[in-house]
């Protein structure tokens, strides 16, 4: 992709050495780091009882600690430049959890909280922080989530919820596209005054409204009814 002036570097957010190597390569080429997009992440679905704690830890290592470690390494470079943009891809699941989605939602709740603190802490250095909340997106995300949940016993006590969870790849096909997410990221990176949060799909926008207006018990009723229905 050199003809388009795009240079791809290897970086594993769970490997501090690879983060350092990538940043050193950027510095070696005399490039200024203006924008960091934290998009690495996956979903570990399954009930709290069914998901081993080690798999939960792995979820946090990628979705939360990998994101924060990369960000920590980048902040000094942006501060030296006197400006920067940090764009964290969270999820509408960072606002509301769902049956079988606790661990994934927990990581995205964490990303929301970390992003808010970063925004306040970094304002003094002219580093802006935005959050992307995509909603259902047609991509390989759902298929990866299904693979990560293959260990789940189909006869689990929570099988009534797994009918949807284990077919999440099909659900994501009714949402937005990766191009929609890319456009939101572009706006967050280039607008003079970017939004704090970008909700990408109609589903994300609608769910955010419902969370704010529905009483919790009524929300519970609709969530349980929706997730446990036959498909």
Residues with a catalytic annotation lie at 104
Query: Please, are residues 171 and 145 in contact by the beta-carbon 8 Å criterion?
Result: no
> CA 114, CA 60: separation in Å to the nearest integer?
13
Query: For residues 137-165, b (16+ Cβ closer than 10 Å) or e, as one string?
Result: bbbebbebbbebbeebeeeeebbebbebb
Residue whose entry in the numeric block shows the structure tokens 């293959």 = 150
81 sits in which H/E element: helix 67-81
Tokens representing residue 3 in the block: 């003809």
Tokens representing residue 231 in the block: 């498909």
Beta-strand (E) ranges in the chain?
35-38, 84-89, 127-133, 137-138, 176-177, 197-199
Query: Please, are residues 111 and 59 in contact by the beta-carbon 8 Å criterion?
Result: no
Query: Please, are residues 131 and 115 in contact by the beta-carbon 8 Å criterion?
Result: yes
User: Helix H segments across 102-140?
Assistant: 102-122
């Amino acid at each position: 992709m050199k003809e388009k002036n795009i240079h791809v570097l290897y970086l594993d957010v769970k490997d501090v050495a690879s983060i350092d190597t990538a940043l050193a390569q950027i510095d070696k080429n005399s490039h200024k780091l203006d924008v960091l997009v934290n998009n690495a992440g996956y979903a570990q679905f399954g009930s709290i009882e069914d998901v081993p704690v080690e798999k939960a830890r792995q979820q946090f290592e990628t979705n939360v600690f990998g994101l924060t470690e990369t960000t920590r390494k980048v902040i000094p470079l942006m501060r030296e430049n006197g400006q920067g943009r940090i764009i964290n891809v969270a999820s509408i699941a960072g606002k509301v959890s769902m049956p079988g989605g606790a661990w994934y939602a927990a990581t995205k709740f964490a990303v929301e909280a970390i992003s808010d603190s970063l925004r306040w802490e970094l304002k003094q250095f002219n580093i802006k922080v935005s959050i992307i909340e995509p909603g259902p997106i047609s991509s390989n995300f759902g298929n990866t989530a299904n693979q990560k949940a293959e260990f789940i016993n189909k006869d689990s006590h929570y099988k009534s919820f797994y009918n949807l969870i284990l077919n999440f790849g099909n659900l994501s096909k009714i949402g937005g596209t990766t191009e929609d997410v890319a456009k939101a990221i572009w706006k967050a990176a280039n607008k003079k005054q970017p939004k704090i949060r970008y909700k990408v799909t109609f589903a994300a926008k609608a769910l955010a409204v419902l969370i704010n207006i529905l009483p919790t018990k009524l929300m519970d009723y609709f969530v349980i009814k929706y997730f446990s229905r036959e498909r």
